[in-house]
Amino acid sequence: MFTESRNPASQNLDELTALQFVRLMVAEDAKVPSAVATQTTEIARAIDVIADRLRASGRLIYLGAGTSGRLGILDASECPPTFNSDPSLVVGLIAGGPPAVTAAVEGAEDHPEYAIADLKSISLTAQDVVVGIATSGRTPYVLAAMEYAANLGACTIGIACNTQTELARRVDIMIAPIVGPEIVTGSTRLKAGTATKLILNMLSTGAMVRLGKTFGNLMVDLRATNQKLRERTNRIIREATGLDSDAATTLLIRCDRELKTALVAELAKVSPAEARLRLRSHGGRVRAAIRQEVESESPHRLVLGLDGGGSRTVALLAATRSDGGWNILGRGEGGPSNMQSVGFAAAFSALDEAIASAFASAGLARQEVYRACLGLAGAGRPEEQQCFLDWAAGIGLADGVYATGDSTLLIAAGTPDGWGLSVVSGTGSMAYARSRDGHAYRAGGWGPLMGDEGSGYAVALAGLRAAARATDGRGATTALTDRLLAAFGLHSVEDLIGVVYRGSDRATIASLAPVVLAVADEGDAVAEDIVRNAAVELAAAAAAAARPLGFGSPIPVALAGGLLVSSNSFRTRFLEALTHRGLQPDPVAVVAEPAEGAVRLALQLPVDQPTTVSAD
């Protein structure tokens, strides 16, 4: 097991100075977020399930032994003061019972019967979600709990820091960040504990947000029962509405100091009684209650915009306004929908998952919408688009549907007048250019075997190859070797063979690209060369897409994908390489949510668009 193996970086731990020790701890702990990031899809699925179960009167139960159990209890205990949730809504259980919270109860984790007794004591039901936390993935207390919960029909979620565990075989959703060996061998309260805390933060916070416990990023599910809370509610009212302090106080008094009621009353311009009614009908979600008027005025003007990529699918559900604009009502995510990588069946399933999640986020029943746009990676050709259009027609998705490649979305979302150059560098890469008169040209997007230069996958693969060459002595020594091994929790480059060839898909390998970028930013010559070449190749594709359309300078440029959005240094390298090719990017927009472009494209379909869908 990774969590029990020795860490080569700390084999002389007892000889380090305090400063050396701290630097080692910082370096090791820095690996945790990237390990957790590999589990984003599973964590998001878990959040959706938890929110659905809580909404249906279920509970969230954390269960573990030792550090794992204490972390679950900590997260559960923090939910009532943070989100004003009922203390019985999120429950933490630990092997050995309450005494084990502050003192070790030796051997308790080895008794599976304790877990069953603990779950019976809280009257576990099929409506609940049980999160079993076991860093090793084999703790008897947790395994027995998962089996008992599954037999009752409860949803089971596992958290471990090892792969191919017994826990993974007993749960509905498995979250397994591989943080690698601890600096003190087997002391999983360190990196593994940190990873667990990050995941629990996401699960409880994400579920509470989905339940309407926040308005934007403001905690709004509270009552002003003391002076501190009265000051906080006043501040939230001011920030959300723009009122001054006196007006905010007057509003709160008129609404019996009910913060949510005050927000809806002010922002929707309704009475406190109407605000309460709206909140009840929308499950306490402030934004949905405020938007009720928009939804009721134009119930047949719902619009869906979808951005389907190699790592995930995003759906935005929007509603048109009388002034010609639109508001986002809900956002949902699904798995990858690049049919070139996952096939049509999995792509359709991911789209369906994202759409259902968007409606759930908006608090609306799923229904046929007015217009929809499917912007899909790997579907740049008419015959591919037609398959998705046929699917959309078969499920009654919308009155009118437009299907196109994902790069089209960036032009719509990130250029001032709907023309210019869009460049994607995520799991894959591609450049797409559109002229003022509607002519378009694309370059790249050939997939991992034939192209995708400058993509996250290509950068990560180059990093892995550099580590292999360095190990053989065929290439220069590089910090990439240790950093990539740490990302997988491995000891030797030879161990990468099994992980890369048998245990990782394309998206997982691409998730290592930030490691290569970070090492390059630290000045490693080999990593710098990889990143520089990637930026040059990406610029070459962009120039190839732009030049056939006769673009001069300046040219509007829209950028998307993990590498270009999250790495300022890579984005700068790319723009400099593009300038060296004679193209002056101006203005430059970083598009964090390409699905907004899909909404805009959907609304551009003609008003008399027939119910039969049309391709790009």
Q: What angle do CA 112, 115, 118 make, to 5 degrees?
A: 150
Q: Mark whether 439 and 580 lie in a shared domain.
A: yes
Indicate the burial class of 155 (C-beta count within 10 angstroms; 0-12, 13-18, 19 or more).
buried
Please tell me the predicted confidence (pLDDT) of residue 524.
92
* Per-residue confidence (pLDDT) for residue 604, from 0 to 100: 83
> Where does the pLDDT of residue 507 fall: very low under 50, low under 70, confident under 90, or very high at 90 and above?
confident
The residue among 271, 290, 309 that closes a domain is 290
My answer on whether 147 and 52 are in the same domain is: yes
Q: Residue 216 domain-assigned?
A: no
At residue 29's C-alpha, the angle toward residues 178 and 521, to 5°, is 100
Mean pLDDT, residues 357-386 taken together: 85
User: What pLDDT is recorded for position 30?
Assistant: 87
325: confidence class by pLDDT, cuts 50, 70, 90: confident
When mean pLDDT is compared over 330-334, 503-507, 606-610, the highest value belongs to 330-334
Out of 23-27, 102-106, 302-306, 351-355, least confident range: 102-106
Question: Distances in Å between the alpha carbon of 458 and those of 39, 63, 95, 534?
Answer: 21, 40, 45, 8
Say if residue 460 is in the same domain as residue 601: no
DSSP 493: G
Confidence of residue 373 (pLDDT cuts 50, 70, 90): very high
Domain-located, residue 24? yes
Q: Among 57-61, 112-116, 226-230, 571-575, which is the least confidently predicted range?
A: 226-230
Tokens representing 260 are: 């949510």
Q: Are residues 523 and 453 in the same domain?
A: yes
Residue 429 shares a structural domain with residue 535: yes
Count of beta carbons in the 10 Å neighbourhood of residue 5: 15
Element (H, E) at 556: strand 555-560
pLDDT of residue 182 exceeding 50, the answer is: yes
Q: pLDDT class for 413, splitting at 50, 70, 90?
A: confident
What three-state secondary structure class fits 587? strand
Looking at the fold, whether 6 and 25 belong to one and the same domain comes out as yes
Fill in the DSSP letter of residue 305. Answer: E
Residue closest to 79 by CA, chosen among 69, 64, 90, 71:
90
Q: Are residues 398 and 528 in the same domain?
A: no
DSSP letters, 103-150, are S--TTGGG-HHHHHHHHHHTT--TT-EEEEE-TTS--HHHHHHHHHHH
Range of the domain at 585: 424-591
Taking CA 555 as the corner, what is the angle to CA 549 and CA 557, rounded to the nearest 5 degrees?
105
Distance separating alpha carbons of residues 432 and 441, to the nearest angstrom: 6
Q: Which residue has the higher pLDDT, 4 or 421?
A: 421
- Half-sphere exposure in the Cβ direction for 366 (13 Å, CA): 13
Work out how many domains the chain is built from and give that number. Answer: 4
Does 295 reside within a domain?
A: no
- In whole angstroms, give the CA distance from residue 329 to residue 301: 12
Counting every residue written for the chain, the total comes to 616
Q: What residues contact residue 407 under an 8 Å CB cut-off, 6+ apart?
A: 380, 422, 423, 424, 430, 431, 432, 442, 445
Between 310 and 47, the more confident residue is 47
- Residue 268: helix, strand or coil by DSSP? helix
275 CB-side CA count, 13 A: 22
| Integer Cα distance of 238 and 597 in angstroms | 32
Predicted local confidence at residue 414, as pLDDT: 82
CATH number at residue 233: 1.10.8.1080
- Ramachandran angles phi, psi of 117, nearest 5°: -60, -40
Taking residue 236's Cβ as centre, other Cβ atoms within 10 Å add up to: 21
CATH of the domain at 24: 3.40.50.10490
If you average pLDDT over every residue of the chain, what do you get? 86
Q: In terms of domains, do 548 and 529 share one?
A: yes
Judge if 42 and 177 occupy the same domain.
yes
Q: Which residues are catalytic?
A: 78, 109
Decide if pLDDT at 504 tops 70.
no
Task: Using pLDDT thresholds of 50, 70 and 90, give the confidence band for residue 293.
Answer: low
The verdict on residue 339 lying in a domain is yes
- Give the span between the Cα atoms of 91 and 164, in whole angstroms: 28
**What CATH number does residue 392 fall under?**
3.30.420.40
Identify the band that residue 218 occupies on the pLDDT scale cut at 50, 70 and 90: confident
215 located within any domain: no
- Same structural domain, 45 and 184: yes
Q: What is the pLDDT, as a whole number, of residue 566?
A: 78
Per-residue 3-state assignment (H helix, E strand, C coil) for 529-555: HHHHHHHHHHHHHHHHHHHHHCCCCCE
Confidence of residue 157 (pLDDT cuts 50, 70, 90): very high
Taking residues 477-489, report their average pLDDT.
Answer: 85
Residue 299 — pLDDT band, cuts 50, 70, 90? very low
The confidence score (pLDDT) of residue 247 equals: 92
**Distance of alpha carbon 279 from alpha carbon 295, whole angstroms:** 15
CA distances from 516 to 462, 507, 570 (A): 9, 15, 11
Q: pLDDT tens digits for 95-140?
A: 999 999 988 887 888 899 999 999 999 999 998 999 999 999 999 9
Q: Is residue 538 part of a domain?
A: yes
Does the pLDDT of residue 304 top 90, yes or no?
A: yes
Angle at the Cα of 190 (from 188 to 191), degrees rounded to 5? 90
Q: 50 with 79: CB under 8 angstroms?
A: no
Q: How confident is the model at residue 13 (pLDDT cuts 50, 70, 90)?
A: confident
- Contact predicate 57/124, CB 8 Å: no
Shared domain check, 238 and 163:
no
Share of the chain above pLDDT 90, in %: 33
Q: What is the pLDDT of residue 430?
A: 85
**What is the spatial distance between Cα 486 and Cα 463, in angstroms, rounded to a whole number?**
13
From residue 472, alpha-carbon distances to 461, 477, 585 in Å are 17, 10, 42
The answer to whether the beta carbons of residues 457 and 445 sit under 8 Å apart is no
What integer is the mean pLDDT of 333-346? Answer: 86
Q: Choose among 362, 353, 367: nearest CA to 308.
A: 353
Percent of the chain with pLDDT over 70: 95
Q: Is the pLDDT reported for residue 442 higher than 50?
A: yes
Which of residues 159, 178, 210 is at a domain's end? Answer: 210
Same domain flag for 44 and 114: yes
CA 587 to centroid of chain Cα atoms? 28
pLDDT band at 173 (very low <50, low <70, confident <90, very high): very high
Residue 215 has pLDDT above 80, yes or no: yes
Q: Structure tokens of 370?
A: 């007015």
Phi, psi of 318 (to 5 degrees): -125, 160
pLDDT reading at 229 higher than 90: no
Reply yes or no on whether the pLDDT at 62 is more than 90.
yes
pLDDT at residue 611, rounded to an integer: 39
Task: Indicate if the pLDDT at residue 297 is higher than 60.
Answer: no
Domain boundary among 180, 210, 240: 210
Lowest average pLDDT, out of 63-77, 393-407, 458-472, goes to 393-407
Average pLDDT over residues 597-611: 71
User: Does pLDDT of 597 surpass 80?
Assistant: yes
